[in-house]
Amino acid sequence: MTSTQTAGLTTSQAAGLESGDLNKLTTDAFAAIEPSVTAKLSGTQVGALTSAQITALTTAQANALTSTQSVGITTVQTAALETADLSVMTTSAFATIATGVVAGLSSTQVGALTTSQVTALTTSQAVALTSTQAVGITTVQTGALQNAALAKLTTAAFEAIDTAVVAGLSNSQVGALASTQITALTTAQAAALTATQAGGITTVQTAALESGDLSNLTTSAFAAIATGVIAGLNSTQVSALTTDQVKALTTAQANALTSTQTVGLTSTQAAVLEGADLAKLSTTALSAITTGAFAAVATGDITSLSSTQMGALTSGQVTALTTSQAAVLGTTQTVGLVS
């Protein structure tokens, strides 16, 4: 059959075409079939098309495909799908593509998906994405990723997401990430997080934050972390904080620190702990600071301690006071010292 003949095929005739005959059509003949006719093909007929015929699909034919046809697309045909055809599929047609087919898409094909198609990704399709596909996700598509689908990405796929895409996630999307995905964050992805994303980190995710990623957060991102998350950090995570991050602690974050966190403060970190933050430490948090770290607190910041805080100091901390620190203590502080 020629393109002139196939252009006249009716929907009833198309339905009667055996798969063995349909896949014998030349690409020109197949491309001439009316979109309304291709829309009536069965999933079996679509699955029998040759890769050359799939490539020959016109955008009008691709747009006419329904979930009945797209469910028949096979893994063998995947690579033959042109990005222009893939991107004009309706969301209902795209959502029925088999997970094996989705897993076979190239990064270029994934990058060509419309935001509506990305939103239509099912959780099954999302979990099928590999690092090969995930690396193709674009910043334009970021906002379209539904939380449920995003949370289903494998750790390998999540690690492959471009840093610019990670930086475009909303705090709601970040909050929906699985703990394994948080652990899988690369240092580059962590460094790309902004205050918007860091503000979405949840208390459930806290323990999954690797020290290497935590220390790569920018100061603005770190300062945006919720106090409940700060209170859930362990001493190892606290010890990994950079001096710039310690300086960036908000008074609310400092007030949320417990003895579990402050025992992890190093002398290097204690030396840059600002007086305003020091003054917000609870007595239990303050008394948990090691003597070495306490002795490193800047003399100008020691004066920020209240008499109540001074009274909570351990004998070891009092003994560890340097002459410089002791020299700047005023009556407000010394009155609190327990003899």
Number of C-beta neighbours around residue 195 at 10 A:
16
Q: Tell me, what's the pLDDT at 2?
A: 74
Q: Tell me, what's the pLDDT at 42?
A: 87
Q: Tell me, what's the pLDDT at 306?
A: 92
Tens digits of residue pLDDT in 134-188: 999 999 999 999 999 999 999 999 999 999 999 999 999 999 999 999 999 999 9
Q: Tell me, what's the pLDDT at 3?
A: 60
- Backbone φ/ψ region at 266: left (φ over 0), alpha (ψ -120 to 50), beta: beta
Q: Do the beta carbons of residue 296 and residue 267 sit within 8 Å?
A: yes
Q: Tell me, what's the pLDDT at 269?
A: 97
Mean pLDDT, the chain cut into blocks of 10 residues (339 residues total)? 71 72 85 89 90 94 92 93 95 95 95 96 95 94 94 96 95 95 96 95 95 96 97 95 97 96 96 96 97 96 92 94 91 70
- Core vs surface per residue 268-294: b (16+ CB within 10 A) or e: ebbbbbbeebbbbbbeebbbbbbbebb
Q: Tell me, what's the pLDDT at 304?
A: 93
pTM: 0.83
Q: Tell me, what's the pLDDT at 120?
A: 96
Q: Tell me, what's the pLDDT at 319?
A: 94
Q: Tell me, what's the pLDDT at 9?
A: 75
